[in-house]
Amino acid sequence: MKTKSEDLNIVQSKRDILNMFPELELTGFGDFAVRKEYVQDYEIIDFHTHTFPSVSGMLPALFRRELDDGQASFFDLSCYPGSVSFFNFSKVGYRCWPESFWSFPGLKTAFDLLGFNGVITLVRKAGNKRLLRDMELGNISYAVVLPINSIYVDSTSLLLDSISGYERLIPFASLHPLESDIEVKIKTYVSKGVRGFKINPHIQAVDFDDEKMIDLVKRLAETRLPIISCSGLAVPPHYLGQAPKFLRRSVETQNLNRYEKVLCQIPDHPFVFAHGGVEQNEELIVLMKKFPNTLTDISTQNSDNIKRLIEEVGSQRLLFGSDYPFFNQAFPIVSVLRATDNQQDRTAIFSENARKLLNLSQK
């Protein structure tokens, strides 16, 4: 007899997913939302979100204009998991991967990962107002908005200019390790009220243990504000091993074997691994045990991996995150609910740990 997780390998529609998740419902615009009765007793802080102003610098210049379309389904537009036929809640990233890179499904997946299928439209429609609307659907009180600076585009300043007056959106800052005037920008961002810093090795195409990156991390730590970095291989080994060199090179920038060298430089500074190490969950646990100053957000992680993190490092070091808009916020909420069976762990992961890290006053 098949389990529900096994059945999810053959889903053909959103209705199939709904039939397997009593916690979920579909909105009028085709995205999933958690039913209120499952979250009404919890405050939720999403520690990992993006909006158009914060990541528009990733896009080709031709597409750096926001689109206002609140009826678009982000589940359909996102490259994660791509086609609904890839959806599998028991897997990291809530998706299964083709066995062969050099197949139609394998090449289509690579096409999606490179952002050529829907993701540009997705980013352009992910405005601040859309995020706030979607937060209401999940009973989410605050969202940490993470920018991605390139050498040429200061997405942090675009974000800060765009969220003035939005008290529920908490801005972080980003710097590219190769850009100029780093010290000046750090001071400017701090003076404008950022609550931490985001590092993006794979998008910025700089290894996490590169000397320029290490220097940036040490400078950021001087602010005493938390640092969050994308971390871990986002692609499973069987697929990555068949991929072209340029794709492997991009993914390898944040291989967890690069992190110990850097963490030794900031042993007492709060550091957050984004995405729970993605496909390197076991390696993440080893690092977190070695460096007690570290935490992780659980975005992209299935409930089994979250449960193991609780057992190995404790719920006090886990943060709720979604990687919105690339992932629907409903699925990480369900992951936490299914990974936990007590109020203490849920409260810690959903909001308490984030409040302490961000120095937010208690409710």
Q: What domains are there in the chain, each with its CATH number?
A: 4-358 (3.20.20.140)
- Model pLDDT, residue 5: 39
Residue 81 pLDDT exceeds 60: no
What is the reported pLDDT for 139? 94
Confidence of residue 116 (pLDDT cuts 50, 70, 90): low
pLDDT band at residue 105 using 50, 70 and 90 as cut-offs: confident
Phi, psi of 200, deg, nearest 5: -130, 80
pTM confidence score: 0.94
Query: How, if at all, do strands 197-199 and 169-171 pair?
Result: unpaired
pLDDT (tens digit per residue) in 263-312: 999 999 999 999 999 999 999 999 999 999 999 999 999 999 999 999 99
Question: How far is the CA of 178 from the CAs of 60, 216, 232, 269, 355, in angstroms?
Answer: 20, 9, 22, 23, 32
Please give the full DSSP string across 129-152, using - where no structure is assigned: HHHHHHHHHTTEEEEEE-----SS
Q: What is each CA distance from 231 to 124, 165, 175, 221, in whole angstroms?
A: 25, 31, 17, 18
Apex 76 CA angle, 75 and 78, nearest 5: 70
Number of H-type helices and E-type strands within the chain: 20, 11
Q: Which phi and psi (to 5°) does residue 284 adopt?
A: -60, -45
Structure tokens, 358:
């961000």
Cα-based distances in Å from 133 to 33, 176, 351: 12, 31, 19
**C-alpha distances in Å from residue 2, one per residue of 6, 8, 9, 264:** 6, 10, 11, 46
Among 278, 283, 312, smallest CA distance to 298 is for: 278
pLDDT band at 13 (very low <50, low <70, confident <90, very high): confident
Cα angle: 278, vertex 282, 285; to 5 degrees: 100
Q: Which pair of structure tokens corresponds to residue 11?
A: 């889903």
Inform me whether the pLDDT recorded for 9 exceeds 90.
no
